[in-house]
């Protein structure tokens, strides 16, 4: 007899980042379907869905609705950091837990959040370790005007300067803006060795299309000469980018076809894989423990006696592969992979000289 346990799903099905939300949502639903069909498991999950429609101000109230009106204590959801920050006070009030399955900028370790995707020591730092020796140390930084771009670019600037590099330019766009002309002009004049792209949604698609055009006009800006790097781009957005994605280099814990991800290799993207893992880990924590579905996260973790846990009890982050991949013929091809990188949200557990020492030798 399976225990029926309600769990919340809080993903925007429309709005500027809906491709990512949909990828996460389908990963979570795939895991729920798989677990519910497993006769050996003593529980089944009943999804309780709310759709904030890309409006950051609806996340708090809708999370409140899930935790107040249903028995769900666990919510799989949120894409932007702003929306995650909005739900944390609600989680605190109700003793709920958010399972967050997208890359983010770090510097958080909430008692009420599990982070199953990558933070900077698992995406940005490995990416810089790869690009600085292979392409040079002159960077152009772009981003959308919110915490993801700001913090990623701050950290990139710090690490690039430490490595003796320089910042050729840094420019931001309001979320949703397609006004990329000035960035392209600056890049043409500044001639960086690479571009770190932390734009999101339509801004990013527009930028990549314009940069491809620039590369066609001047081979200096072809991807093999001056690549565009991303810490959050996955297969789920490739259809929106089309041919302009060619040559783009991204960091992530999974790319389609990579083997070794727990639960399978058939995921469409790391967003899907990380949401899938979140639901599976929740099921592992609750299986065989009637009543555990009502516990808060810290107790759930401290009482966990079963093998196979993936959550660091101190930081609530997970150990992930750090993979660098390049889009070739419409698919990501792995160019570098480091396994077993533990999430280090405050960068206090990773050596500070990460990648810098050997870069000096190369120069």
Instruction: Kindly identify the residues of this chain, within the stretch 153-182, that bind other proteins according to CB under 8 A.
Output: 158
Residue 4 phi/psi, 5-degree rounding, is -95, 115
39 vs 351 by CB, closer to other proteins: 351
C-beta separation of 8 from 77 below 8 A: yes
Burial 78-116 (b: 16+ CB within 10 A, else e): bbbbebbbbbbebbeebbbbbbbbbbbbbebbbebbbbb
CB of 303 to other proteins, least distance (A): 16
Determine if 32 is a binding residue for other proteins (CB under 8 A): no
What mask of x and - would describe binding to other proteins in positions 72 to 91, judged by CB under 8 A?
----------------x---
CB of 298 to other proteins, least distance (A): 8
Q: What is the largest CA-CA distance in the chain?
A: 67
**For residues 275 and 277, what is the distance between their CA atoms, to the nearest angstrom?**
5
Size of the site for other proteins (CB under 8 A): 18
**For residues 362 and 130, what is the distance between their CA atoms, to the nearest angstrom?**
12
What mask of x and - would describe binding to other proteins in positions 121 to 150, judged by CB under 8 A?
------------------------------
107 vs 331 by CB, closer to other proteins: 107
Determine if 107 is a binding residue for other proteins (CB under 8 A): yes
Cα–Cα–Cα angle for 39, 44, 49, nearest 5°? 145
162 vs 177 by CB, closer to other proteins: 162
59-67, 106-114, 134-142, 200-208 -> range binding other proteins (CB under 8 A): 106-114
C-beta separation of 84 from 100 below 8 A: yes
CB of 21 to other proteins, least distance (A): 24
Cβ neighbours of 347 (radius 10 Å): 18
113 vs 248 by CB, closer to other proteins: 113
**For residues 159 and 347, what is the distance between their CA atoms, to the nearest angstrom?**
12
271 vs 316 by CB, closer to other proteins: 316
Instruction: Kindly identify the residues of this chain, within the stretch 335-354, that bind other proteins according to CB under 8 A.
Output: 345-346, 348-349, 352
**For residues 80 and 10, what is the distance between their CA atoms, to the nearest angstrom?**
12
111 vs 218 by CB, closer to other proteins: 111
Query: Which residue among 56, 109, 190, 310 contacts other proteins (CB under 8 A)?
Result: 109
329 vs 352 by CB, closer to other proteins: 352
**For residues 50 and 12, what is the distance between their CA atoms, to the nearest angstrom?**
8
C-beta separation of 53 from 298 below 8 A: no
CB of 56 to other proteins, least distance (A): 18
Instruction: Kindly identify the residues of this chain, within the stretch 274-333, that bind other proteins according to CB under 8 A.
Output: 298, 314-316
Determine if 108 is a binding residue for other proteins (CB under 8 A): yes
Give me the sheet containing 97-100, strands edge to edge.
43-50, 3-10, 74-77, 97-100, 113-115
The binding site for other proteins (CB under 8 A) comprises 88, 92, 107-112, 158, 298, 314-316, 345-346, 348-349, 352
């Amino acid at each position: 007899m399976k225990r029926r346990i309600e769990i919340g799903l809080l993903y925007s099905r429309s709005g500027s980042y809906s491709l990512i939300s949909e990828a996460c949502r389908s990963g979570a639903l795939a895991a729920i379907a798989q677990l519910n069909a497993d006769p050996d498991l003593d529980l089944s999950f009943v999804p309780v869905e709310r759709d904030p429609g890309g409006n950051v101000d609806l996340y708090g109230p809708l999370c409140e609705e899930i935790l107040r009106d249903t028995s769900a204590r666990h919510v799989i959801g949120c894409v932007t950091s702003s929306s995650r920050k909005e739900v944390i006070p609600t989680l605190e009030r109700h003793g709920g837990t958010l399972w967050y399955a997208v890359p983010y900028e770090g510097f958080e370790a909430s008692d009420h959040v599990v982070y199953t995707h990558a933070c900077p020591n698992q995406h940005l730092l490995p990416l810089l370790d790869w690009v600085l020796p292979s392409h040079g140390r002159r960077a152009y930084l772009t981003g959308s005007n919110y915490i993801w771009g700001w913090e990623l670019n701050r950290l990139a600037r710090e690490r690039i300067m430490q490595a003796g590099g320089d910042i050729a330019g840094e420019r931001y766009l309001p979320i949703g803006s397609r006004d990329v002309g000035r960035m392209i002009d600056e890049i043409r004049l500044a001639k960086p060795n690479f571009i770190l792209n932390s734009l999101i949604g339509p801004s990013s698609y527009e930028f990549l299309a314009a940069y491809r055009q620039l590369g066609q006009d001047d081979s200096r800006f072809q991807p093999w000469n001056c690549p565009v790097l991303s810490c959050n781009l996955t297969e789920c957005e490739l259809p929106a980018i089309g041919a302009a994605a060619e040559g783009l280099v991204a960091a992530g814990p999974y790319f389609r076809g990579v083997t070794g991800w727990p639960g399978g290799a058939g995921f469409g993207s790391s967003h899907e894989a990380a949401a899938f893992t979140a639901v599976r880990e929740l099921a592992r924590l609750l299986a065989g423990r009637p009543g555990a579905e009502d516990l808060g996260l810290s107790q759930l973790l401290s009482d966990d006696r079963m093998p196979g846990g993936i959550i660091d009890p101190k930081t609530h982050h997970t150990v992930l592969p750090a993979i660098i991949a390049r889009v070739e013929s419409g698919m990501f091809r792995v160019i570098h992979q480091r396994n077993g990188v533990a999430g280090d949200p405050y960068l206090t557990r990773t050596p500070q000289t990460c990648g810098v020492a050997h870069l000096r030798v190369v120069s």
